[in-house]
Chain A
Amino acid sequence: MADAKINQKPFEVPFTDWKPEYLYSLGELSPFFRSAVEHEQLLATKCPSCSKVWMPPRADCPDCYETCDWVEISGEGTVISCSYCYFLGVGVDLIDYLDLPYVFALIHLDGTDTYFYHGIKPNEQKMGEVKAGTRVNVVFREERRGSIGDFYFVPSEEQKQ
């Protein structure tokens, strides 16, 4: 009797109630983001023991386990490697100010010892200009909230013009 009432077709239900919201604590990295938001100044960290300068900054040196010191950096650097990207994920801050395609890059920021991932806004008239060796500098967005997407990079030549 039950058979007639049992439909085996998958029953797919939208599940929209689960929208997690966070009050995400930046903890020991707070100085980096506060400095970006309030002073448009990038900070790195330097280990007092091995003198390595970490970027992204690390409050604790993973090699020495020493508490690192905060140091100011210029926000200028050299592209080590980059890819033009044609697909931008959903819910990513970059989507607000970079058009596709844009450049995702590993940047060696001056005065640091590691490479830093970030987005570069290419000059639309000169597509393909950004490559390994290109000099870039940081640009801060008008509205900053304490996100790695509060700033981005542009080719240095373009900025001077």
Chain B
Amino acid sequence: MTPVDIIGIGTIPFMERNASRTYKGMALDSVRRALEDAGIGKDDVGHVVYSIHSEAMLLQQIPTLLLQDYLGFRGLASTRLEAGFATEGYAIATACNRIRSGQDDIVLVVAVQKTSDFFDLEGDSRETGYRRGNTIATDATWLQQILPCQEAFLSTFCLEPRLARHGGPTKEQMAAIAVKNRRNATLNPEAQLNTVPTVEDVLASAPVAGDTTSLMCAAHGDGACALVLASRERAAELGAKAVRVAGMGIATHSSYTVDANNIGQIVGTQIAARNAYEQAGVKQPPSEFDLAQVHDITSGIEAVACEELGLCGPGEAGRLAQEGAFDKDGMLPVNIDGGRIGCGHAGGVSGIYAACEIVRQLREIADARQVPIRHGRALLQCTDAHLSMNSVAVLSVRENS
């Protein structure tokens, strides 16, 4: 099977609300940039994979059908992936498989999502509108009528039992992680938020669920980005400054079967990481990466994800974050672009944006937020709001082809 390279990235700024462009326009903006970055034309693309999380938020049940035309890919087949907030990883894996199987030598991944058109007109509120929209992303029979918000789920299923069993992450540690991501975001001109709260500000912000406060939560908004993937041969032909997908693991674990075997853990991330590390030959996760882009739907979940990825022991990530280990100049920078908490979050998009950031970092063109590239390897992890569907990718520049 031919190795797969990322040869082009296209990003646009995350915005709390992007009223000046429709989701189609946003997709086109990012695709135009990705093709230009890859040095290819639209006609070179063999297949399009759409990473689109929510139809309801787009007021559109057939976004793929319409996007394929809007982007001018007439005559070309496409695939749409939906795997909650891990849609992005599943989309990249699917694109890789198209290339590895020999069906295509260039595949475009298009990620787009608006979350802010969902609006509570009576309450004149974007927030409650979004929350209402989000309700249908939970089980209609067992959860929709009793779940207050997704953070309640994350806290109850994962964070509280984790704290009880492993002593972390604590509330203060989760606040420190939120501050880190907000600080990183100030170095990213495409980030939605560009101010830095203090740990005290984060702790004093509105309580949401358990120890999680509002400033520890992802900043949802409107976003789009695109990736161009190619076979190693085609990437070499194009002379692209490519980043290799050295390992790719995807795994689904239980969503509503909850018992002592999965509570307080992200089992799917453990499995996906094991598979990705094995493919990439990663033996000592914390010391083999230059950066990690980890799913920070809340800052507590970022801590648990770091632990499940083997970057440190269970219960240790929060303390390490407080000590600066995951800062820009720390042992392993985590969410250097600001993550979902600082840069922005839209399901189906954030993980692709994180992949684009890794490519920028490994190419060493990340300007003010560039981290030193010593190992030539980076880690990308996504998980959905049920912590059920998971993806882990190892991206690399110095792989021997």
Taking beta carbons and an 8 Å cutoff, which residues of A are in contact with B?
A: 8, 10, 12, 14-16, 18, 24, 26, 29, 54, 56, 62, 80-94, 101-102, 104-106, 113-119, 132, 147-149, 152
Using Cβ atoms and an 8 Å threshold, which residues of chain B touch A115? 258-259, 263
Query: Bound complex: CA of A59 vs CA of B132, how far in Å?
Result: 29
B143 in complex: contacting residue of A82, A117, A132, CB < 8 Å: A117
> For residues 155 through 186 of chain B, which have their beta carbon under 8 Å from a beta carbon of chain A?
155-157, 159-161, 164
Contacts A56-B142, A84-B209, A114-B258 hold; do A94 and B132 have CB atoms under 8 A apart?
no
Q: Which residues of B are interface residues toward A (Cβ below 8 A)?
A: 19-20, 59, 119-121, 123, 128, 131-132, 134-135, 140-149, 151-153, 155-157, 159-161, 164, 206-210, 256-259, 263-264
Q: Are A94 and B258 in contact (CB under 8 A)?
A: no
Q: Are A90 and B120 in contact (CB under 8 A)?
A: yes
Cβ of B264: which chain A residues have Cβ within 8 Å of it? 81
- Asked if A18 contacts B59 (CB within 8 A), the reply is yes
A10 to B144, CA, bound (A): 34
30 A-B pairs within 8 Å (CB atoms) are namely A12-B19, A26-B141, A56-B141, A62-B257, A81-B160, A81-B264, A82-B156, A83-B155, A87-B206, A87-B209, A88-B149, A89-B134, A90-B123, A92-B147, A92-B148, A94-B146, A102-B148, A104-B148, A104-B153, A104-B155, A106-B156, A106-B258, A113-B259, A114-B258, A115-B259, A117-B146, A119-B148, A148-B142, A148-B143, A148-B145
Whether A80 pairs with B161 at a CB distance below 8 angstroms is yes
- Chain B residues with CB under 8 A of A94: 145-146, 148
Task: Write out the residue numbers on chain A whose beta carbons fall within 8 Å of the beta carbon of B147.
Answer: 89, 92, 104, 117
Q: For B146, give its contact among A62, A118, A132 (CB under 8 Å).
A: A118
Q: Measured between alpha carbons, how far is A115 from B263 in the docked complex, in Å?
A: 9
Measured between alpha carbons, how far is A37 from B209 in the docked complex, in Å? 30
Pair B157/A81 contact, Cβ less than 8 Å: yes
- Please measure, in the bound complex, the distance between the C-alpha atom of A91 and the C-alpha atom of B119, giving whole angstroms: 14
Q: How far is the CA of A152 from the CA of B145 in the complex (A)?
A: 11
Complex contact B135–A10 (CB within 8 A): no
- Counting chain B CB atoms within 10 Å of each CB, the highest count among A89, A94, A115, A148 belongs to A89
| A89, B156: Cβ atoms closer than 8 Å | no
- State the CA gap A85–B258 with chains docked (Å): 20
Distance to closest chain A CB from B12 (angstroms): 16
A104-B148, A106-B263, A113-B259 known; A86 and B209 CB under 8 Å? yes
Q: Is B145's CB under 8 angstroms from A147's CB?
A: yes
Query: Within 8 Å CB of B143, what residues of A?
Result: 117, 148
B20 near A10: Cβ-Cβ < 8 Å: yes
Compute how far the CA of A94 lies from the CA of B152 in the bound complex, rounded to whole angstroms. 14
Indicate whether A104 sits within 8 Å of B142 (C-beta atoms), given known contacts A14-B121, A89-B132, A114-B257.
Answer: no
Given A56-B256, A89-B131, 16 extra CB contacts under 8 A: A12-B19, A26-B141, A80-B263, A81-B160, A81-B264, A82-B160, A85-B210, A89-B134, A89-B148, A92-B135, A92-B146, A104-B147, A117-B256, A118-B146, A132-B164, A148-B143
